[in-house]
Amino acid sequence: MSFQSSLRTLLVSSLVLAGCDPKPEPITDPGPPNQVRGSLLARYRTDTGDSAVPQNPPAPGLQAFALEEGVPRPLEVVLSEDGSFQIPEAPKGKYMLRLGREYLVTDARTVNLDTYTLGRREFRTASEQPPMIVSLSNLEPQDYTFRSWQAVSTNAGTSAYLYATESVAQGATSVSRHPVSYNQYGRQDNVLLDASAGDVLYVTASGVRDNAVFEYDAVNRFFVQSVSMDPANPTHLEGTFQVLPPKTLTIDWRRSGFEPYRTQVHPRATTSLPSFTLSAMPGGKDAWYRYAGDLMITFSSRAGPDGPLSFTYGNPHPSAWGEVLILIQSFMLDLKLPGTTTGDLYQLGLHDVRPLPEATQAPFAVRISPPRRLTVDGTDAQRSSTLGSLTPRIAWEAPQLGTPTAYRVLISRLTVEGTRTRAFTEAYLTTTDTSLQLPPDILQPGQTYVFIVTSHLTPGVDLATSLHKLSVVTDVASADAVSGLLTTPASLGAQGMSHTPPRASEPDALDFWERKTPRHWRAR
SS (H, E, C) 343-392: ECCCCEEEEEEEECCHHHCCCECCCCCCCEEEEECCEECCCCEECCCCCC
Contact predicate 452/409, CB 8 Å: yes
Burial (CB count within 10 angstroms: exposed 0-12, middle 13-18, buried 19+), residue 420? middle
CA 8 to chain centre: 28
Tell whether 98 and 239 lie within a shared domain.
Answer: no
Tell whether 290 and 204 lie within a shared domain.
Answer: no
User: What's the structural domain count of the chain?
Assistant: 3
Structural domain that includes position 72:
7-118
Q: Domain for residue 223, yes or no?
A: yes
Beta bridge partners of 450: 412
Sign of the CA dihedral with 229 first, then 231, 237, and 243 last: positive
Q: Give residue 187's pLDDT.
A: 75
Tell whether 255 and 193 lie within a shared domain.
Answer: no
Query: Dihedrals φ, ψ of 97, to 5°?
Result: -105, 145
Of 218, 244, 270, the residue that ends a domain is 244
> Distance between CA 10 and CA 112 in Å, rounded?
12
Of 223, 244, 265, the residue that ends a domain is 244
Question: What is the mean pLDDT of each successive set of 10 residues along the chain, which is 524 residues long?
Answer: 29 30 43 86 94 80 86 91 93 93 95 94 90 95 89 95 93 95 86 96 96 96 96 94 98 96 95 94 91 92 93 96 95 89 82 96 97 97 95 97 97 93 94 95 95 96 89 94 95 47 42 38 30
Q: Give residue 59's pLDDT.
A: 62
Tell whether 231 and 277 lie within a shared domain.
Answer: no
- Provide the 8-state DSSP code for 241: P
Q: Domain for residue 297, yes or no?
A: yes
Q: Domain for residue 1, yes or no?
A: no
Q: Give residue 13's pLDDT.
A: 29
Q: Domain for residue 129, yes or no?
A: yes
Tell whether 320 and 179 lie within a shared domain.
Answer: no
Reduced DSSP (H G I as helix, E B as strand, rest coil) percent helix, strand, coil of the chain, to 5? 5, 45, 45
Number of Cβ atoms within 10 Å of the Cβ of 126: 14
CATH of the domain at 453: 2.60.40.10
**Three-state DSSP class for residue 460:** coil
Tell whether 156 and 33 lie within a shared domain.
Answer: no
Of 62, 84, 118, the residue that ends a domain is 118
Q: How many CA atoms lie within 13 A of 145 on its CB side?
A: 6
In 3D, which of 400, 320, 325, 319 has the Cα closest to residue 356?
Answer: 325
> Distance between CA 52 and CA 393 in Å, rounded?
38
> Distance between CA 52 and CA 1 in Å, rounded?
12
Number of Cβ atoms within 10 Å of the Cβ of 472: 28
Tell whether 281 and 421 lie within a shared domain.
Answer: yes
In 3D, which of 293, 408, 348, 385 has the Cα closest to residue 1?
Answer: 408
All residues at 6 or more sequence positions from 36 whose CB lies less than 8 Å from its CB, including other chains: 64, 86, 87, 90, 95, 108, 109, 110, 111
> Distance between CA 282 and CA 411 in Å, rounded?
31
Contact predicate 230/182, CB 8 Å: no
Tell whether 262 and 207 lie within a shared domain.
Answer: no
> Distance between CA 52 and CA 60 in Å, rounded?
19
Q: Give residue 30's pLDDT.
A: 54
> Distance between CA 161 and CA 276 in Å, rounded?
19
**Three-state DSSP class for residue 453:** strand
Tell whether 79 and 179 lie within a shared domain.
Answer: no
Beta bridge partners of 12: 7
Contact predicate 96/103, CB 8 Å: yes
Task: Write down how long the chain is.
Answer: 524
> Distance between CA 44 and CA 21 in Å, rounded?
10
Q: Domain for residue 365, yes or no?
A: yes
